[in-house]
Structure formats: structure tokens, C-alpha cells
Amino acid sequence: MSFLFAWTLLCLLVCCDIGECRRRNVLLIIADDGGFETDVYNNTVVQTPHLRALSERSVIFENAFTSVSSCSPSRSTILTGLPQHQNGMYGLHQGVHHFNSFDGVQSLPLLLKQANIRTGIIGKKHVGPCPVYPFDFAYTEETNSVLQVGRNITKIKLLVRKFFQSQKEESSEMEEERPFFLYVAFHDPHRCGHSQPQYGMFCEKFGNGETSLTFFPDITPTILDWFSLPYPSYSLSGARPVVLTGQSLLPALISEPSWVTVYASQSLHEVTMFYPMRSIHQGRYRLLHNMHYRMPFPIDQDFYVSPTFQDLLNRTQSGQPTGWFKTLKEYYYRERWELFDIQSDPTERWNLAGDPAYTPVLKSLGDQLLKWQWQTDDPWVCEPDAVLETKLEPQCRPLYNGL
């Protein structure tokens, strides 16, 4: 289950072939909770002719992943190329949650700004602090609440026009136009069925397609590659240099990439929703490590009021058949390890972690996941049966807690 199904559309705006352009620009468009609600991904109900027209001259990703399913952590991975446990954005940024990326993180807008590339953000930002995520041109929900409520397409369109007008004015003054990176983040269609309950069942019934929507940490290395900018050498927590988890997608414009491994990391959503999970997807198998599996899976307010969860809740309370392959108790209380064969079991119904026939797969994926956690300075790398000691050489100290 996830809290944020954000799909991204990365547009490399060029006037000539790759490698020949003198000036390059980037437009990154993000929709909040926009899953399959477009005919580009075979949705037969929702028609999006403009996205369809764009897709006809674009690369379409049909096997893509988010590295974390919560809003602020997900946006931080897009803008840093680092998993949330490495960049510090463990949970939501706003209000009482107040999570922030570490001060030393070298984010995409920061690196572009240092390279004299004009940066702009319009719409939902939901990350911080500002010194880590600086933008030359910024109109977000932090200063204009209308950008986070209801349908804001017209307002955002006017602000995009304002960005390009200011770009033109700056070029006239400087007698040379700087390349730009413009990040446009729509709040729509977030909370479909919450602000307009009459559409809730429609959204849940038809919000699906036959293929999926790129790995979010790939976006920063892709844009740096587009601008021919190197990633700096620096450290966040000690001697180990920071290494980007993602890879540039530019080669995918020419041929199918050869890499097949994707990692994911979830720690919190709201400040009360602590349930650290790490996962690896490789080939046909997906492994999840639910570190705090002994505690019930926490529910946030957005998910609680959704029609699907309310139906499951009410049916369970009244003793009616739910029609779901998981009971409410099975949803709350999970196994520590979950291993799925996505090829034969795409809906993840059958946990293979306890099957002796899959022990080699479980060990191989588990070892790779643990190695990645160490490489990315994961504070939860030792949990749940040990505690991380970092004073001297980082190591796991056993807790002897029976886990």
C-alpha cells in the first residue's frame, strides 16, 4: 500500500539531437496521486488528449517505481537522487511533522543554481529546508495556499507563463539566455473522492490501467547528465562519500537499459506513522523487510477516509464477508519478510519467504538489500534485532530480543 502514487513526466526540451544542442532546458511535471488516470497508460475511461499527443513523441516507462510511497520523502528523492533515509526527509515536511533533509545534502536545484542554470518551482513543494532546495523563481503552497486546493490548472498555467516571461526579460538584460530547469508540481488529483465524495467510487473503480508508470532517484542523475554536470564528492555522516542510488535515464532514449535492480525505503509518513520498511526488486522477485512487524501497520487520515478502507472497516466490524484476499488483521500485522514472484503473482498474494524452495532467492536478495543499506548510511540498518553503533567503526550490536 502507498500514500503517494505520483507519476512524473520528464520533458527534455531540445531543438536538436542529443549531443548537438548549445543550450538545454528541462521541464519536470509531477501530479499528486496521479496513478493510471490517463489513456497513455491504457485507462479506457479517462481521456487525456494532450498527454496522449506528448506521449506519441516521448519515451514511455511501463516498468517504473517510486522509491518511497509518502509525499515529502518521495519528492526529496526526486530532487536529491538519494533515498529518504540518506537525505534525511524521513516523513512529511509540513506542520507538526516538520521533517527536513540534512543541511549538507547537495540537491538538484542547488547544484543547478551553482552551475548558473535558472531554476523555477511552481505548485506543491513540500520539502525543506529552503537552503537545501533553493529556487530562483518560486510560487508554491508555502506562500500561496490556492496552489494546493482543488483544481489549480489555470493558476499554474499563468505562473508558468510568468516564469517564461521573466526568463525572456532576464535574457534581454544579460544579452544571453541561461538554460532553465522548471519543476511544475500539481496538487491534483490528490484525495480524489475526499473533497468531492461523489467521485470517490468512480476514482477507485476506474483508476487503473494495464501497465505501470521510472525510479524516482533516477531523475536527479538524468538531469545532471543532461546538463553535463558531475555529481560532487562529499560526505553527510562521516568518511563514506555520498553515492547516487539512481542512474541517468538518457541511455534509455536510445536503447533498453540493462540494469534490473530497484531499491525502496519507507520510514514514516505522518510523525505518528512509524513503520520502517526496506525492499529490493530484482527481475521477477520483490523482497520486503518489515522491520517493526510486531507492531500494527499505522493508518493515516487520508487512507482512513478512503471509500475502500471504510468499506473494509465496516464489513469487518459487522462480520460481513469482505471480498478481499487479506483480512483487516492481516493488513495490520505483517510478516517480517515478504517475498513475491511478481511474474506469476503480480498482485502479491502469496508470500514465498517461508517456502524452503525459495531460500536461496531470499538470502541473495536479503544480502543485496543489507549491502545497499550500509552503502546509503541507513540508520535502521541493524533493526529490529540489533542497534547501530557509529562512534568508532559502524557496527550492529545485538539486542538479544528474540527477533
**What residues are labeled active site?**
71
Name the helix (H) or strand (E) containing 397. strand 395-398
Give just the sign of the alpha carbon dihedral 358, 361, 363, 366.
negative
Alpha carbon distance 19, 39 (integer Å): 32
Q: What is the DSSP string of 193-206?
A: TTSSGGGHHHHHHH
**The residue to which cell 553515492 is assigned:** 243
Measured between alpha carbons, how far is 278 from 264 in angstroms, rounded to an integer? Answer: 6
**How many H-runs (helices) and E-runs (strands) does the chain carry?**
11, 11
Radius of gyration of the chain (CA): 22
Residue 259 CB neighbours (<10 A): 9
H/E element, 52: helix 49-55
For cell 505520483, the residue is 6
Q: Which of 121, 140, 234, 230 is nearest to 180 (CA)?
A: 121
